[in-house]
Structure 1
Amino acid sequence: MVSSINMSKNVCVIGGGPSGLVAARELRKEGHNVVVFEQNHDVGGQWLYDPIVENEDPLGRDNFLKGKDLRWVVKTTAKTAMDKVVEEVYDAVVVATGHYSKPRLPKIKGMDAWRRRQIHSHIYRVPEPFRNEVVLVVGNSLSGQDISMELVDVAKEIHLSAKSLDISEGLIKVISKYDNLYLHPQIDSLHEDGRVLFIDGSWLIANTIIYCTGYSYSFPFLDTKGIVVVDDDRVGPLYEHTFPPSLAPSLSFIGIPRKLIGFPFFECQAKWISQLLSGKKTLPSWDEMMQSIEKFYHSTDVAGIPKHNTHDLANFEYCDKYADYIGFPHLEEWRKELCLSALRSSDVNLETYRDSYEDKEMLQEARKSPHFTQLGTEAFAP
């Protein structure tokens, strides 16, 4: 099932965040009938800020989708007192639920028996609840660094545990600046009395542990009879991280890849999916798609990339490759350089790079260049 008839389809988009919204827009532009399902009270996804998340189930409700004779049966539950279940049938489903919903937690000896507070960064909001505490932050990537820097003015001590002690110049500066911020290796074990033992034999007693350990892909609402599976954070098999060959193009995913310029990439994905469903584009054969997937998996194995990093692309060229599928403009050089400039600056000046204006010339160039998503109101008409 690799091509589609040139006719309007009834399409279900799961998720009303950035990727789901652009999917809905592009599908409507191609003449498809679109329904977007969103578990929150409004659209926006992770950009819809909620100040209170302590009691939240990060996965929401397990609504149910299943394929039936190349169409999709969608059962949804309205969040009302009646919890009414509605069943509808769609020609295609676009899964746009992102990858920032299901917290990924490490497996640490004694974790279940540790009686003090443990949270994931997913529910962290402000530093005040941690005033005068000894806080252990696990993970020194973006969220771990940001939360640690927020805590230095309120917490008694902040201890940052990292897989590697080979850290950036920017983080070295921050740790050197604050006398209540410490760096540790990985955790060996947790103990009921509050002790945290590290692999180098050192230990401390903490009040709270904040796990800044990322997220896992999860689609509890989707039943593909085992055709699409999540194996150690590899969602597959997916052709170009988007289409399961056996179900394409009636099932597709937007927003699976990580570590790229998200919004333009989501737009490319949405355009490609929309044009495939309207018959303007076709996919390769099932065999060709599977061969492409296996070739990609082999290349990651040869490069020593762990399976759970399958979708970490970090590659401008891949964005351009995707654009070529639909005749979309490549990312402008100024856009790439703005991104790289911010990354370089953060590596050196972790506390101040957001306030840096060293890229004024690039910003001026950006303002002169028409944004390739700059559209008139007619583009959003029904």
Structure 2
Amino acid sequence: MIACHTLLNMLTVGSYLKEEKLTNNASYNLLLNGQLMLEELVFLTLVSFRSNLLTFNFSIKHLTTFTQYASNLLTLQSSNPFSHTMVSVRNPPRNVCVIGAGPSGLVAARELKKEGQKVVVLEQNHDVGGQWLYDPKVEGQDPLGKDTMGSGLTVHSSIYDSLRLTSPREIMGFTDFPFLIKKGRDTRRFPGHKELFLYLKDFCEWFGLREMIRFNTKVEYVGILDYGAFGEDLKWIVKSKVKDSDEVISEVFDAVVVATGHYSYPRLPSIKGMDAWRRKQMHSHLYRVPEPFRDQVVVVVGNSLSGQDIAMELVNVAKEIHLSSKSLNVSEGLSKVISKHDNLHLRPTIECLHEDGRVVFVDGSGITADTIIYCTGYSYAFPFLDTKGAIGIDDDRVGPLYEHTFPPSLAPSLSFIGIPRKLIGFPFFESQAKWIAQLLSGKRSLPPRDEMMKSIQEFYKSREAAGIPKHNTHDIADFEYCDKYGDYVGFPHLEEWRKDLCISALINSDVNLETYRDIYDDEELLQVAHQSPHFTQLEHEALSSSL
């Protein structure tokens, strides 16, 4: 074999093949799907040329160019800053525990399975989906979600009944499993939450992941059992409980992948008088439908996507809605909504709450409210994880984590998927999963720990210099970062059409908040997307029909 794994960290062969219009072949699909490494592709090409059984239907000129292309890349290996990431020795299969069967956990299981690992997925719910597994029953829960840090939480999804995607379905799918429209289901481009849940179920079935998953199993404890070479040969003890059972199951794993998401632990503001306010207060985590708020005066705290969605839904039932925002300089789209509805009012932040129901804002104005709904986001929490201080959470900064994924002193045996926010999630989760899986299989290696720590500190300094608060450490919102991350594992860069469709949707929502999910003007971008390999090369007949 030609040892050129490292080359994928600098350039991807996919870009070359696309330029030469060599996409209509099985080997290219295998390459994109991660089932064929670049050195194997070069090898197969050269062997087939010698035997006159060419895998690709292209000319001698193309073969010569491609061979020279690969040779030039090989020459770059010694100067490649990421050359340490590829190694030739494969590790024996490892026992890996993935915690969570949401989008990040499912793609982690898929990639680990590809690499031949022995995978067990522990999921506390009765089905896959994570946040996308809607649960309408919120009775008996602390309305502020304060019991979520203990053992009393039974509702983990923050999905409300009317929730629709804020991004078009075209950009949401994993790279080799398009989020297609299916007969008899929600065909909208911005479908409801159930459609994404069904997509994840389809993904699970298509790749045979269900057999790895233990449902209704809550992880109680994850800790280091054996330090080994500390970070290389660690052993982990994982303790779990099956629903309605008191028995604690203890198991030992070689590696643990934490894929529990970050939308289950409500973050609450600190407001004077909050504890003494006697009327109803709740976090949006437990909001499901608008009917309970009929004829009420409601204060919605937080001008986030969920805050705007809930406020717009309440205008049809509530007497008054007061949307409290840190800034009164709001988008054109929100301004249109406020001017359209007489019972929707924009307010500044809250100064204090009074026991009799009064809500006083920082500008001195006030109202008497029936309910306050806090749409103030979520905090990271891993109550089951005991790393003896190697990992901590400080003002919503989880760290230290190299590239938001690996704790330097415990990597690669402990990793996290899905920590970053404000990016196109599914493809990014997929690149994280590939990196983790290839590290555990021995295909790749990480930099020395001191280099990883240095990189983390430089990242922190860059965020501070940019004036980004610590609690926004993991808010990325950067296409270039996603591409850079993909380079670590030879993962294709985000397609331009994904970026363009994402930006188009953001611009449209900024101007037309109430209608952007149903009225849009991006047909040309959509056509480009549907002509891309994501929807052509990777679309089987089986994916076009119900599974």
**TM-score with structure 2 setting the length:** 0.67
Q: Which residue of 2 aligns with 1:358?
A: 521
Give the 3-state SS of the residue equivalent to 1:304 in structure 2: coil
Shift of 1:43: 1.1
Q: Which residue of 1 aligns with 2:241?
A: 77
Q: Which residue of 2 aligns with 1:347?
A: 510
What is the alpha-carbon distance in structure 2 between the residues aligned to residue 135 and residue 322 of structure 1? 43
Q: Which residue of 2 aligns with 1:43?
A: 128
What is the alpha-carbon distance in structure 2 between the residues aligned to residue 230 and residue 193 of structure 1? 36
Residues 62 and 220, structure 1, Cα contact 8 Å, conserved in 2: no
Q: Which residue of 2 aligns with 1:139?
A: 302
Q: Which amino acid in structure 2 is aligned with residue 196 of structure 1? A: V
Q: Which amino acid in structure 2 is aligned with residue 25 of structure 1? A: R
Q: 1:96-131, CA deviations, whole angstroms, 9 ceiling, x for partnerless residues?
A: 001101000001111111111111111111111100
Q: Which residue of 2 aligns with 1:263?
A: 426
Q: Which residue of 2 aligns with 1:334?
A: 497
What is the alpha-carbon distance in structure 1 between the residues aligned to residue 539 and residue 281 of structure 2? 46
Q: Which residue of 1 aligns with 2:458?
A: 295
Q: 1:212 to 1:241 in 2, by over 3 A?
A: same
Of 216, 223, 226, the match for 1:66: 223
Q: Which amino acid in structure 2 is aligned with residue 199 of structure 1? A: V
Shift of 1:362: 1.3
Shift of 1:375: 7.6
What is the alpha-carbon distance in structure 2 between the residues aligned to residue 7 and residue 28 of structure 1? 13
What is the alpha-carbon distance in structure 2 between the residues aligned to residue 315 and residue 78 of structure 1? 40
Percentage identity across aligned positions?
A: 73
Residues 508 and 520, structure 2, Cα contact 8 Å, conserved in 1: no
Residues 54 and 123, structure 1, Cα contact 8 Å, conserved in 2: no
Residues 101 and 122, structure 2, Cα contact 8 Å, conserved in 1: yes
Q: Which amino acid in structure 2 is aligned with residue 45 of structure 1? A: G
What is the alpha-carbon distance in structure 2 between the residues aligned to residue 357 and residue 116 of structure 1? 41
Q: Which residue of 1 aligns with 2:486?
A: 323
Q: 1:314-362, CA deviations, whole angstroms, 9 ceiling, x for partnerless residues?
A: 0001111111111111111111000000000111110000012311111
Q: Which amino acid in structure 2 is aligned with residue 79 of structure 1? A: K
Q: Which amino acid in structure 2 is aligned with residue 64 of structure 1? A: Y
What is the alpha-carbon distance in structure 2 between the residues aligned to residue 375 and residue 293 of structure 1? 39
Of 276, 296, 309, the match for 2:472: 309
Q: Which residue of 2 aligns with 1:154?
A: 317
Q: CA RMSD in A?
A: 1.8
Q: Which amino acid in structure 2 is aligned with residue 370 of structure 1? A: P
The structure having more radius of gyration, on CA atoms, is 2
What is the alpha-carbon distance in structure 2 between the residues aligned to residue 28 and residue 167 of structure 1? 46
Q: Which runs of 5+ in 1 are unaligned?
A: none
Q: Which residue of 2 aligns with 1:23?
A: 108
Q: 1:269 to 1:375 in 2, by over 3 A?
A: farther
Residues 103 and 129, structure 2, Cα contact 8 Å, conserved in 1: yes
What is the alpha-carbon distance in structure 2 between the residues aligned to residue 243 and residue 377 of structure 1? 38
Q: Which residue of 2 aligns with 1:169?
A: 332
Shift of 1:5: 5.5
Q: 1:119-154, CA deviations, whole angstroms, 9 ceiling, x for partnerless residues?
A: 111111111110000000000010110000000010
Q: Which amino acid in structure 2 is aligned with residue 18 of structure 1? A: P
Residues 139 and 213, structure 1, Cα contact 8 Å, conserved in 2: yes
Q: Which residue of 1 aligns with 2:257?
A: 94
Most deviating of 322-331 and 244-253: 322-331
Residues 298 and 370, structure 2, Cα contact 8 Å, conserved in 1: yes
Q: 1:99 to 1:250 in 2, by over 3 A?
A: same
Q: Which residue of 2 aligns with 1:369?
A: 532
Q: 1:272-325, CA deviations, whole angstroms, 9 ceiling, x for partnerless residues?
A: 000000000110000100000000000011111100000000000111111111
Q: 1:1-49, CA deviations, whole angstroms, 9 ceiling, x for partnerless residues?
A: x999622110000111000000000000100011111111111101111
Give the 3-state SS of the residue equivalent to 2:517 in structure 1: helix
Q: Which residue of 2 aligns with 1:190?
A: 353
Q: 1:377 to 1:10 in 2, by over 3 A?
A: farther
What is the alpha-carbon distance in structure 2 between the residues aligned to residue 112 and residue 29 of structure 1? 51
Q: 1:162 to 1:315 in 2, by over 3 A?
A: same
Give the 3-state SS of the residue equivalent to 2:239 in structure 1: strand
**TM-score with structure 1 setting the length:** 0.95
**How many residue pairs were aligned?**
376
Give the 3-state SS of the residue equivalent to 1:63 in structure 2: strand
Of 213, 222, 225, the match for 2:376: 213
Q: Which runs of 5+ in 2 are unaligned?
A: 1-84, 142-146, 154-217, 227-233, 543-547
What is the alpha-carbon distance in structure 1 between the residues aligned to residue 469 and residue 496 of structure 2? 30
Shift of 1:58: 4.4
What is the alpha-carbon distance in structure 1 between the residues aligned to residue 95 and residue 238 of structure 2? 12
The answer to whether structure 1 residue 236 and structure 2 residue 399 are counterparts is yes
What is the alpha-carbon distance in structure 2 between the residues aligned to residue 377 and residue 310 of structure 1? 42
Give the 3-state SS of the residue equivalent to 2:339 in structure 1: helix
Q: 1:99 to 1:296 in 2, by over 3 A?
A: same
What is the alpha-carbon distance in structure 2 between the residues aligned to residue 226 and residue 5 of structure 1? 31
What is the alpha-carbon distance in structure 2 between the residues aligned to residue 5 and residue 164 of structure 1? 54
Residues 255 and 266, structure 1, Cα contact 8 Å, conserved in 2: yes
What is the alpha-carbon distance in structure 2 between the residues aligned to residue 5 and residue 114 of structure 1? 61
Give the 3-state SS of the residue equivalent to 2:356 in structure 1: coil
Residues 96 and 256, structure 2, Cα contact 8 Å, conserved in 1: yes
Shift of 1:62: 6.3
Most deviating of 348-357 and 363-372: 363-372
What is the alpha-carbon distance in structure 1 between the residues aligned to residue 298 and residue 469 of structure 2? 30
Give the 3-state SS of the residue equivalent to 2:488 in structure 1: helix
The answer to whether structure 1 residue 203 and structure 2 residue 366 are counterparts is yes
